[in-house]
Chains A and B, each alone.
Chain A
Amino acid sequence: MKLALGPHQYYWPRQAMMDFYADVADSPVDIVYVGESVCSRRHEMRLEDWFDVAHVLAEAGKEVVFSSLVLIESESDLKVLRKLVGQPDFRVEANDMAAVQALVRAGHKHWIAGPTLNVFNPATMDVFAEQGATRWAVPPEMAREAMDGLLAGCAVRPEVEVTAYGRLPLAYSARCFTARHFNLQKDTCEFRCLQHAEGMPLKTREGEAFLTLNGIQTQSAKVYNLLGDLPALQASGVDVLRVLPQSEHMTELLALFRRAIDGEIAPAEAFAQSQPLMPEAPCNGFWHGKPGLEQYVAAA
């Protein structure tokens, strides 16, 4: 089982991002997804910077994948997409059908069907596999049982990647909720996301942490954590675990996942050790076919 670092969801100053990926290059992760997938206004990292990061990671032995923008609205978004698809060195994760169209047109044969492509059944997996998708990033809201059903039914089994750690990306909008909070329009947002390294916590009126506002993206408040469910992930034949970036304890978390995957530490113990590394309480409901925010103790 491989370990992947998913695409960065937040907007950080360029140097902070460069430092983050320098640490990742030294971490025990196999695959790194890079690129801006959330907001086209985020320009601290230019595309050239991402390519620099990608080459450094590749030289460190990582498989590097460029993750495409989830919400494509303008012709300039499409231009960036065409540049990603046109480069010869790295695979691309398609997070939108425009990316699929561009990859298919360019004749790519080893792309990744991203979690927002909504691949929920064998027939749809077959459509994308025939068009060159060889890895499937499971939509986070999909339960293990449904995932198993898809894999049993599709013509060619793809490599399977499951989001196993991080605040879950739950929704995308034309509206920027961070700008809205500061009463700013999206086009003149003053890049307020830069001041919120892990987004802005949204709580209910009785103080319960519910969601996280991250620009145009809404995330869970709780941190999805499938470390305790590792035996089930392995039993289902999951090939890759995706960990999403956070601002602190990243390399410790990746090391913990590595040791758990390699059997050097029991899953329950790994889950326990991950607690102080998490910015919020854990949840794993989606994997169990329940509301995402719930937390289940994995059956032995």
Chain B
Amino acid sequence: MTANHPIELVCPAGSLPALKTAVDAGADCVYVGFKNATNARNFTGLNFTDASMREGIRYAHDRGRKVLLALNTYPQAGNWPEWTKTIDAAAEMGVNAVILADPGLMRYANRTHPELRLHLSVQGSATSYEAINFYHEHFGVQRAVLPRVLSLPQVEHVIKKTPVEIEVFGFGGLCVMVEGRCSLSAYATGESPNCNGACSPGKHVRWEQTAKGMETRLNGILIDRFADDERAGYPTLCKGRFAVGDDTYYAIEEPTSLNTLELLPDLARAGVRAIKIEGRQRSPAYVQQVTRVWRAAIDRLKTDGDRFAVQPKWMAALNNVSEGQSHTLGAYYRPWK
């Protein structure tokens, strides 16, 4: 391994119990959001109040871990103060970094709280070193999360050409679209990840047992229909079966999870500084399972180096919590189709 820095494991927490679980299971960083539209997992029953945020930060810091606050939606003129107040609160509470997508907010954060570390969210859609360097030069961004669109050599090339630390997604639900550049949910429901922090939101979902099978709808649009022997999945609109020409199939994406565990040595060699686990909307049990496996793998990489090998029990544990119980390398593997 030529990497000079250990890879940080960045784990999701949609609640205080999930945060504590992530810390106990070995996360280096936990990323969280407040209970409002300021972050891209604005789901009912999820996220942190001021009080639970303070307790979570204390819990993590007492154990030498970091807390990163996701503030990665795009505010508009009418709701701007809610976002800036959240940045102020984050700075005052002592989070280790805020994860932003909006350039206006970055400037606000940079000017108002110059000591506050800024990460560029995946929602910022920065897929090249030129884009990333813009955020670095203008707002002092110190880390960027890459959208799930680049191949492994492309990731490596970006890292060579930027002083900004690079964080990549390692595991979890797979957005097949460039994050921050997808209005499919807005088109179907009026609510988008960009502006509302939600994709295919639950209040627009309808499950209906019909003579033809279990039908899942989003704002009335048929996303999928399941036979009795099929497990009906949540109708995320890009993961349904649709008709194109004479074929009915997963025309955009299967319900599957990204899993790059086997690429871990390559990611380390490329100079990736942090690996992100997706899933703030998932349960503490998921967080525990995934965090334990990735902690073990990263630790094993440190000791085993080039002899590193993925253990079958790790893959089995991850597949257990994968969407559709299957996984893919996504765009890291160029022939992905």
Point out residues on A near B: beta carbons under 8 Å.
70-75, 77-78, 81, 96-98, 100-102, 104, 116, 118, 120-128, 139-142, 145-146, 149-150, 152-153, 168, 170-177, 179-181, 183-187, 200-208, 210-211, 213, 218, 220, 285-286, 289-293
CA separation between A208 and B130, bound complex, in Å? Answer: 41
B128 touches A292 (CB 8 A): no
7 example contacts (A-B, Cβ-Cβ < 8 A) are as follows A72-B127, A73-B127, A101-B134, A118-B180, A141-B186, A146-B76, A183-B337
Q: Of the 9-residue stretches B48-56, B221-229, B257-265, which lies at the interface with chain A?
A: B221-229
Interface residues on B, range: 35 or more
Chain A residues with Cβ under 8 A from B80's Cβ? 121-123
Interface-central residue, A187, A208, A211, by most chain B CB under 10 Å: A211
Within 8 A of A (CB), among B109-143: 124-128, 130-131, 133-135, 138
A149 touches B77 (CB 8 A): yes
**A292 and B150 in contact (CB under 8 A), knowing A127-B107, A173-B178, A176-B337?**
no
- Name the distance in Å between A199's Cβ and chain B's nearest Cβ: 10
A180 touches B251 (CB 8 A): yes
**A121 and B75 in contact (CB under 8 A), knowing A70-B181, A98-B128?**
yes
Q: Of the 9-residue stretches B33-41, B98-106, B276-284, B299-307, which lies at the interface with chain A?
A: B98-106
- Name the distance in Å between B272's Cβ and chain A's nearest Cβ: 17
Question: Contact string, B305-336, partner A, CB cutoff 8 A, digits 1/0?
Answer: 00000000000000000000000001100111
Interface-central residue, B76, B247, B336, by most chain A CB under 10 Å: B76
Option from A71, A127, A185 in Cβ contact (under 8 Å) with B181:
A71
- Name the distance in Å between A183's Cβ and chain B's nearest Cβ: 7
Q: Of the 9-residue stretches B5-13, B23-31, B164-172, B188-196, which lies at the interface with chain A?
A: B188-196
A121 touches B182 (CB 8 A): no
Query: Chain A binding site: helix, strand, loop or mixed by DSSP?
Result: mixed
Residue B236 CB within 8 A of the other chain = no
- Name the distance in Å between B294's Cβ and chain A's nearest Cβ: 23
Point out residues on B near A: beta carbons under 8 Å.
74-78, 80, 101-105, 107-108, 124-128, 130-131, 133-135, 138, 148-151, 154, 157, 176-178, 180-184, 186-190, 192, 194-195, 219, 221-225, 238, 240-245, 247-248, 251-253, 330-331, 334-337
B134 touches A97 (CB 8 A): yes
A71 touches B187 (CB 8 A): no
Chain B residues with Cβ under 8 A from A97's Cβ? 124-126, 130-131, 134-135
Option from A96, A98, A175 in Cβ contact (under 8 Å) with B337:
A175
CA separation between A285 and B151, bound complex, in Å? Answer: 36
Chain A residues with Cβ under 8 A from B225's Cβ? 205
B180 touches A174 (CB 8 A): no
B337 touches A203 (CB 8 A): no
A146 touches B102 (CB 8 A): no
CA separation between A213 and B181, bound complex, in Å? Answer: 15
CA separation between A200 and B242, bound complex, in Å? Answer: 12
CA separation between A97 and B248, bound complex, in Å? Answer: 37
CA separation between A207 and B78, bound complex, in Å? Answer: 39
Chain B minimum-CB-distance residue to A219: B187
Chain A minimum-CB-distance residue to B139: A127
Chain B residues with Cβ under 8 A from A102's Cβ? 130
B335 touches A285 (CB 8 A): no
B221 touches A210 (CB 8 A): yes
Option from B104, B157, B194, B330 in Cβ contact (under 8 Å) with A127:
B104
A172 touches B178 (CB 8 A): yes
B176 touches A205 (CB 8 A): no
Interface-central residue, A118, A146, A290, by most chain B CB under 10 Å: A118
B107 touches A123 (CB 8 A): yes
A171 touches B130 (CB 8 A): no
A168 touches B107 (CB 8 A): no
A177 touches B74 (CB 8 A): no
Chain B residues with Cβ under 8 A from A116's Cβ? 125, 181
- Name the distance in Å between B209's Cβ and chain A's nearest Cβ: 16
B244 touches A213 (CB 8 A): yes
Minimum-distance CB pairs A-B, first 6 = A123-B104, A149-B77, A174-B149, A124-B104, A97-B131, A292-B187
B245 touches A204 (CB 8 A): no
B222 touches A208 (CB 8 A): yes
CA separation between A168 and B184, bound complex, in Å? Answer: 10
B75 touches A120 (CB 8 A): yes
B105 touches A72 (CB 8 A): no
A122 touches B77 (CB 8 A): yes
B149 touches A73 (CB 8 A): yes
Option from A73, A150, A181 in Cβ contact (under 8 Å) with B245:
A181
**A146 and B244 in contact (CB under 8 A), knowing A141-B194, A175-B331, A291-B219?**
no
Option from A101, A153, A177, A205 in Cβ contact (under 8 Å) with B224:
A205
**A173 and B177 in contact (CB under 8 A), knowing A121-B104, A146-B77?**
yes
CA separation between A217 and B188, bound complex, in Å? Answer: 17
Chain B residues with Cβ under 8 A from A175's Cβ? 176, 253, 331, 336-337
Chain B residues with Cβ under 8 A from A81's Cβ? 130
